[in-house]
Amino acid sequence: MKTETIEIKDAPKGEIGGEIVGLDITQLNAQSPELEEIRQAIYRNKLMVIRNQDISLEQYVAFTRVLGKPQVYFQENYHHPVFPEVFVSTNVPEPDGKKVGVAGTGHYWHTDCQFQKEPLSFTSITPVIIPKSIRATYYIDMVKVLKNLPAELRKYVDGKTYIHGGNNRYKVQPSDVDKSIQQLIDYMNEIVPLVEHPAVITHPVTGEQALYISSGFTMKIKGMKHEESQEALKALFDFIEKEENVYTHNWDKGDLIIWDNRPLLHKSSVLAKGELSKSYRIGIYDQYPFYVGLNK
């Protein structure tokens, strides 16, 4: 698929991960016809990489504003000090010694904001400092997983509702000093209470169905006794997280990576000891409900 300005390279049939080349995102505005091509490419390929971008933070934020509605993450310690839309993942200290952002984010299988009533449509990431050994994001296509789910596991999915929570992923911040663990748990229960989503969701654009659970945020199968639920979830996660289901994207300088959270699980690679890493992330809400039947 090619226009006068950009070339969109789709993933091979049955796979995820397309590529856009020849695009300068700083030239886009709300009326640019390329925007809808980009959106449709994300829906179609589930993951897109826009190559060779040399952009400022201001330009990055501006792009996400024309593509959709940027998210401001609910925990302020993740925010960039000038652009709150920018979620900073870094273990690199600032020159003045001030801590900006958080380290060690997303080293577990999840889909962003699954623990909220309206989960996040798109996630975009661009690397700033890339480690020498590895800096990768891993993905699992949950449309494909659902299609391949064996009958003995399907019984835990069909017609089921799952309960999700993010309390155990809370990042402690300076203002939490002198608070007890129970106070922090109570605080998290207040700001992000447990939510329910169907086990199988239908994409509002493609119509594809995906299994919507993750070992990072899914807590329980509604209506099951605790022990039975935990046993069922373990069996499901063991199947989902098989190596054969994992797609790896290794970051390159200038990559702008955007994926659809509806059909994909993801997790970040673990840094080798002593290596430095920094990336900027902006979540983006599109114009659709997260899944068919969810009020936006």
Mean local confidence (pLDDT), 91-118 = 83
Asked if residue 3 has pLDDT above 50, the reply is no
Strands 264-268 and 18-21: unpaired
Residue 127 · residue 247 · CB < 8 Å: no
Residues 37-90 have pLDDT tens digits of 999 999 999 999 999 999 999 999 999 999 999 999 887 778 888 999 999 888
Which of 168, 161, 169 lies closest to 213, judged by CA? 161
Among left, alpha and beta (phi > 0; psi -120 to 50; other), residue 49 is beta
All domains of the chain in start order, with CATH: 7-285 (3.60.130.10)
Q: What stretches of the chain show up as alpha helix (H) in DSSP?
A: 34-45, 57-67, 142-148, 151-154, 181-191, 226-240
pTM value is 0.92
Residues 125-141 have pLDDT tens digits of 999 888 887 778 999 99
Q: Tell me how far apart the alpha carbons of residues 160 and 295 are, in angstroms, rounded to a whole number.
A: 19
State the pLDDT confidence band at 115, using cuts at 50, 70 and 90. Answer: very high
DSSP 8-state class, residue 117: S
Sequence-ordered list of residues with C-beta below 8 angstroms from that of 211, at least 6 positions apart, any chain: 142, 145, 146, 149, 157, 199, 200, 240
pLDDT at 170: 66
Asked if residue 175 has pLDDT above 90, the reply is no
* Residue predicted with more confidence, 168 or 107: 107
Radius of gyration of the chain (CA): 19
Residue 108 · residue 237 · CB < 8 Å: no
Return the SS3 of 24: coil
Q: How many CB atoms lie within 10 A of CB 262?
A: 27
Q: In what order do the strands lie in the sheet with 246-250?
A: 246-250, 136-141, 264-268
Asked if residue 240 has pLDDT above 80, the reply is yes
* Residue predicted with more confidence, 175 or 225: 225
Whole-Å CA distances, 141 to 11, 78, 262, 276, 281: 13, 27, 10, 29, 21
